[in-house]
Structure 1
Amino acid sequence: AGLGGERLAAEGVELLARPVDRAVMGLAGVLGSLGYYVDLLERCAAHFRAAPPDVLVPVDSPALHVPLARIARRYGVSSAHFVAPQYWGWAPWRARGYASAFDRALTILPFEKPWFERRGVRAVHVGHPLLDHLAREPVTRPAAGARAIVLLCGSRRSVIERNLPWMLARLSAVDLELAHPPIVIAHDDAAQHPLLAALVAEHGRGLDATIATAGLHAELARARTAFAVSGTVLLDLLHHRLPAVVLYRLGGRREEWIGKRFVTAPWFSVTNLLANEELLPEFGFSGAGPAGVVERALVRAHADPDWRAHCRAGLERAAERLGPPGAARRAARVVLGLAADAEGSPG
């Protein structure tokens, strides 16, 4: 039994609830759904009492799953959290309560396991699940004659609208200096392509900009540089050892204020966290931002051979630190070990 949506149900899981249908954002959304989630936890408690599973395996969502794991522990149910939350980046004080909730925390980045263990969390490093997907794609490096800049402006409509016009303006400012490079805007969701085309028509006049029709990895394999909004797509770039300039454009001054006071990680991009240095230029800001500084970073990333050589060597090291594929298999071994312990325990 479990909590989930259509894909989990298709695998034969008896769904106790479908919280994926109630995804919320913002404080108002959270407050409006409190009653639903309190009821959900009560239903799970009833299930643990009537038919306790050997192991609870919640995925992500610590706001829901930490209290759920505490309830499971009350009924003698072991738990393994996949994946451990990024408390190291924004809420280190929450690790103590997290340690008391879960029997195992499954980490996906190599520096996370020792960080959690220093705070009393029983952590197991299993690796990043995206590597199982990336293993099907050949590893490439930018070709000597490559000229294209791949632009990755986020997945959701609101993120695209916030970032793409600003990114096109930066590329327009350096277009002549970079000898009018081809700009390929890659997005896997074809439903967003009309929006991309409209924004390019309005904000990218004069640029040699096109919407990608090939898959993301085909475009990355023939690109020279990327200009990307921070996210899991940075692991795709790392797979191709592609130099990039990275943005995280905040929604407003309030987000910027919160970030400055609560974010504790030295960098926000996964590549720089793996490298333990600012290997890729990254810029987090709200409003107009450091336009000129970003433009100079784009020129350097695209045209400075010494910087590119240093960056590519660092990308090789970062990819090595990320480790091999097989995260799901290693996570399953941990879960099966907890299940075996549960079967062997008295009562």
Structure 2
Amino acid sequence: MTDYDNPVRIGIVAGEASGDILGAGLIAALQERIPNLQVEGIAGPRMLGLGAQSLFPMERLSVMGLVEPLKRLPELLRIRRTLRRHFIDNPPDLFVGIDSPDFNLSLEESLKTAGIPTVHYVSPSVWAWRRGRIKKIARAVDHMLTLLPFEADFYREHQVPVTFVGHPLADEIPLQVDTAAAREELGFAPGGRVVALLPGSRGGEVKLLGPLFLQAARWCHQRRPELRFVLPAANEQRLAELKQLLENYGDLPVTLLDGNSHGAVSAADNVLIASGTATLETMLLKKPMVVAYKMAGLSYAIFSRMLHTSWVSLPNLLAQRELVPEILQDDATPENLGAALLQFYDDPLLYDQLQREFDDLHQQLRRNASARAADAVCQLIEAR
């Protein structure tokens, strides 16, 4: 590594809480390598705590869904124009866009055209759908940092410089999970049978999957009365919705939690889960799972035609084969979900084999992600 005698300025934009976590890890690792580091852009509380300067509150970029971004579009465009002018007029040594591809890639393209090296941290799901975006990514990004190995393979195939850094969750979650301690904390008997139900964090997901998951739980409980269920709510709004939903399932032994999905999964034997990023944490906690998803019929018809992968869950994508059942759309019935869950109890060898596979994948992702990301950034700065 070069001795950094002069201050090094890095531009950075994180648009949501997960990006703030990644950004804080990167900044901390860079500070170990670069004593006179200056960071500015858009930062969350963790990054601010490490000395980053934020030109706008991160919350102004934290929009989800289809309607809300449209409502906020004039403001988002104004913020991006201001950042573009600021960084072109005051060029940093390097710019890092963390996730938020709809916002960051256009900004990165402008900055790269102006001669500022650009890094994008966290790949969009371009390998799965809307593959045409790879052309814009190649124009916008000098170097891509990916959390997953198959993403890096995709960029290499398209001649985009890339580094697989590993996943911070894999660094954070221990290789061995203390299920007994998690059960004690939640009040479950040490030797009982526990199933975690994770129907998603969005209102639409809970509306479609919440009743389905509880019906599958009832189907399982009728056949295995010893089963107990734990249902974590992602936020206060989901908590209220799930409380109301559970009024129709008084026969089920369900523990409803306000948050704490990590504890719920840690305490479980296996998990019924909506397809999404939570499947990665569940895999890292070594819990066999059944992955399910439903959406409106027209949306599913469009989405399924755009999809370029054989699987939707991260465990299967990482393994490039079906490790866990994926039961989607019309196939997602209480009977199908329940039967898939019970197979883990009926076949202990399958359960043990799956946990070994998950352990192998965990070790593949456990790469000290922040340090590897910082090394890649420093190499770009030194090359300049």
Q: Assess, with a 3 A threshold, how the Cα gap between structure 1 residues 222 and 15 changes in structure 2: closer, same or farther.
A: closer
Aligned to 1:304: 347
The answer to whether the Cα contact below 8 Å between 1:84 and 1:107 also exists between their aligned partners in 2 is yes
Counterparts in 2 of 1:124 and 1:219: CA distance versus 1, 3 Å:
same
**Structure-2 residue corresponding to 1:43:** 82
| Partner of residue 224, structure 2 | 178
Q: 2:376 aligns with which of 317, 331, 334?
A: 334
Which runs of structure 2 are paired with 1:62-81 in the superposition (5 Å)? 62-81=101-120
Q: Which residue does the alignment assign to 1:165?
A: 211
The total of aligned residue pairs comes to 337
Give the secondary structure class of the aligned counterpart of 1:58.
strand
Change (3 A) 1:213 1:42: closer
Q: Which runs of 5+ in 1 are unaligned?
A: 343-347
Offset of 1:20 from its aligned partner? Answer: 2.9
Gapped runs of 5+ residues in structure 2?
1-39, 184-189
Give yes or no for contact 1:146–1:222 (8 Å, CA) kept in 2: no
Q: Deviations over 1:133-173 (max 9, x none)?
A: 314x7435799955111112222444333322210011112
Kindly report which structure 2 residues correspond to 1:14-25, keeping only aligned pairs within 5 A, or say none: 14-18=53-57, 20-25=59-64
Q: CA deviation at 1:314?
A: 2.9
CA RMSD of aligned residues (A): 2.7
What amino acid does structure 2 have at the position aligned with 1:277? Answer: R
Q: CA deviation at 1:127?
A: 0.5
Residue matched to 1:345: none
**Structure 2 residue identity aligned to 1:56:** F
Aligned counterparts, 1:1-347, within 5 A? 1-18=40-57, 20-135=59-174, 138-139=176-177, 145-187=191-233, 189=235, 192-202=238-248, 204-212=249-257, 215-250=260-295, 252-285=296-329, 289-321=332-364, 323-342=365-384
Is the alpha carbon distance of 1:89 and 1:140 closer, same or farther for their aligned partners in structure 2, counting shifts above 3 Å?
farther
**Distance across 1 between alignment mates of 2:106 and 2:267:** 47
Contact 1:178 1:303 survives alignment (8 Å): no
8 Å Cα contact 1:55-1:78 kept in structure 2: yes
Give the Cα–Cα distance (whole angstroms) in 2 for the partners of residues 256 and 191 of structure 1: 25
Once the two structures are superposed, residues 95-149 of structure 1 have per-residue CA deviations (whole angstroms, 9 ceiling, x without a partner) of 12211211110011111112111101101000112223314x7435799955111
Identify if the C-alpha distance between structure 1 residues 87 and 48 changes in structure 2 by more than 3 Å, giving closer, same or farther.
Answer: same
Aligned equivalents of 1:174, 1:7: Cα separation in 2:
42
Q: 1:257 to 1:215 in 2, by over 3 A?
A: closer
Q: Distance in 1 between matches of 2:224 and 2:209?
A: 21
Between the aligned partners of 1:28 and 1:160, the Cα distance in structure 2 is 19
* Closer, same or farther: CA 4–254 of 1 in aligned 2, 3 Å: farther
Q: In 2, are the aligned partners of 1:180 and 1:208 still within 8 Å (CA)?
A: no
**TM-score of the pair, normalised by structure 1:** 0.86
Percent identical pairs in the alignment equals 27
How far is 1:81 from its partner?
0.6
Deviations 1:234-285 (A, max 9, x none): 22222232111112222x1222012111111111111111122111111232
Query: Amino acid of the residue matched to residue 209 of structure 1?
Result: V
